[in-house]
């Protein structure tokens, strides 16, 4: 409120001061995530991983005295909603940095429309390894995870080492799935091999494509199937494939949650499923960052929440983001945050290293394989 004794220019200056002070008192982190629809469980974990770290930072006094306000909006994994809500969080909520989006095609559309570029705003730790977001070089997006090409290479190398070369791919028919498919094909070509069979399914749909894909794979007797697929379709495919007598080894890239898969399809169908991972095993306490994650999870997460790779990945992303805010100094602008992030260099978040430079936005290429055990728990 501007007091009545102030008039003219003095009142205007004071009002501007109050407006700036209100903005400086908080740092708005905007997150548009799929909290409904086919990726709802994944989106909830993405949000939780960031939230527990932001809550910890706020409880510790904030960043240069400013508290983080974590603005979360639900795009239901729909591209048009991602675009609309990102514009909203930039223009209305005045986000200083973006965090933890999902969807290769969703983010590709943001880039096509130059939304982040025009706002000079950084996006940290998107939950996607899509190659179209990495190549050609894009200065707006700071990736924490390895790409789908890296994951595909790791899985193909593992299979070929075991003498398995008849490989099929079940993939989502969009930028996400096609990026993973291309990664598998590239990894095979580097070994003078070709993909035996591929079968797509349509985004945001559970239809008869599962049965059609299984028929195709069994017709050529593939020995392994790599799925570039999200939780519902991975669970549906694995269950139907095993129920039909399919014996090939099943793999999936890192975007699925084994706990959710087991809930949907049951342990019998999921036993033996290999899953690529792009951050360290979050169920041990080997690394300092894992111990920190587990301790803050116990303190700030809802009582019914469970530890997961997804929330741990976004926890790491939140640590990277906060370090960028710190290095940007008090009262930072969007561009200062972006410049601070790109100058992090090799940054250790607690036993996990990310590396950013003005010419590099790929923070890590870490990949390892895990497998769903007989009791439904994930094993290394």
pLDDT given for residue 2 in this prediction: 38
What percent of the chain lies above the pLDDT cut of 70?
93
Range with the lowest mean pLDDT among 11-25, 119-133, 208-222, 354-368?
A: 11-25
Query: pLDDT of 160-176, one tens digit each?
Result: 999 999 999 999 999 89
Query: pLDDT of 18-57, one tens digit each?
Result: 434 444 579 999 999 999 998 999 999 999 999 999 999 9
Look at the block and give the residue holding tokens 């570029």. 117
3-state secondary structure of 99: strand
Burial class (CB in 10 A: 0-12, 13-18, 19+), 357: exposed
Task: Name the pLDDT band for 203 (thresholds 50, 70, 90).
Answer: confident
pLDDT given for residue 15 in this prediction: 43
pLDDT given for residue 208 in this prediction: 78
pLDDT given for residue 380 in this prediction: 87
Distance CA 208, CA 269 (A): 19
- What's the Cα-to-Cα distance from 197 to each of 129, 167, 200, rounded to whole Å? 23, 7, 10
CATH of 8-146+286-356, one of 3.20.20.30, 3.50.50.60, 3.40.50.2300, 1.20.1300.10: 3.40.50.2300
CATH number of 148-277: 3.40.50.2300
**pTM for this entry:** 0.89
pLDDT given for residue 186 in this prediction: 96
Query: Do the Cβ atoms of 239 and 210 come closer than 8 Å?
Result: no
Q: How confident is the prediction for the chain on average, in pLDDT?
A: 92
Whether 14 shows a pLDDT value over 70: the answer reads no
CATH 3.40.50.2300 occupies which residues in the chain?
8-146+286-356, 148-277
Range with the lowest mean pLDDT among 4-8, 208-212, 238-242, 312-316?
A: 4-8
């Amino acid at each position: 409120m501007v007091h009545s004794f102030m008039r003219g220019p003095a009142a205007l200056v004071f009002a501007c001061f109050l407006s700036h002070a209100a903005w400086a008192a908080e740092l708005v982190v905007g997150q548009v995530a799929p909290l409904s629809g086919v990726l709802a469980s994944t989106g909830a974990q993405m949000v939780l991983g960031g939230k527990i770290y932001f809550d910890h930072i706020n409880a510790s006094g904030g960043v240069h005295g400013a508290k983080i306000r974590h603005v979360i909006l639900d795009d239901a994994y729909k591209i048009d909603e991602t675009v609309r809500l990102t514009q909203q969080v930039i223009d209305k909520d005045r986000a200083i940095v973006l965090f933890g989006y999902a969807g290769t095609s969703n983010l590709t559309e943001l880039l096509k429309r130059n939304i982040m570029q025009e706002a000079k705003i950084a996006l940290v730790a998107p939950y996607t390894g899509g190659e179209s977001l990495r190549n050609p070089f894009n200065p707006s997006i700071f990736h924490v995870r390895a790409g789908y090409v890296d994951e595909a290479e790791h899985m193909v190398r593992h299979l070929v080492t075991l003498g398995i070369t008849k490989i099929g791919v079940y993939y989502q028919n969009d930028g996400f799935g096609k990026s993973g498919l291309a990664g598998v094909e590239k990894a095979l070509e580097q070994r003078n091999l070709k993909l035996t069979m591929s079968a797509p399914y349509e985004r945001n749909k559970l239809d008869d494509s599962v049965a059609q894909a299984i028929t195709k794979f069994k017709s050529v007797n593939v020995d392994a199937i790599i799925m570039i697929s999200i939780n519902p379709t991975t669970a549906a495919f694995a269950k139907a494939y095993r129920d039909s007598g399919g014996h090939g080894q099943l793999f999936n890239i890192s975007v699925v949650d084994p706990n959710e898969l087991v809930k949907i399809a049951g342990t019998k169908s999921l036993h033996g499923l290999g899953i690529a991972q792009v951050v360290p095993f979050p169920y041990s306490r080997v690394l300092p960052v894992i111990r920190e994650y587990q301790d803050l999870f116990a303190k700030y997460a809802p009582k019914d929440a469970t530890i997961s790779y997804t929330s741990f990945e976004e926890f790491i992303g939140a640590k990277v983001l906060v370090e960028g805010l710190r290095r940007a100094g008090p009262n930072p602008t969007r561009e200062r945050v972006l410049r601070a992030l790109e100058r992090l260099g090799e940054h250790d978040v607690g036993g996990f290293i990310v590396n950013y430079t003005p010419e590099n936005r790929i923070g890590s290429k870490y990949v390892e394989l895990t497998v769903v055990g007989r009791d439904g728990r994930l094993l290394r």
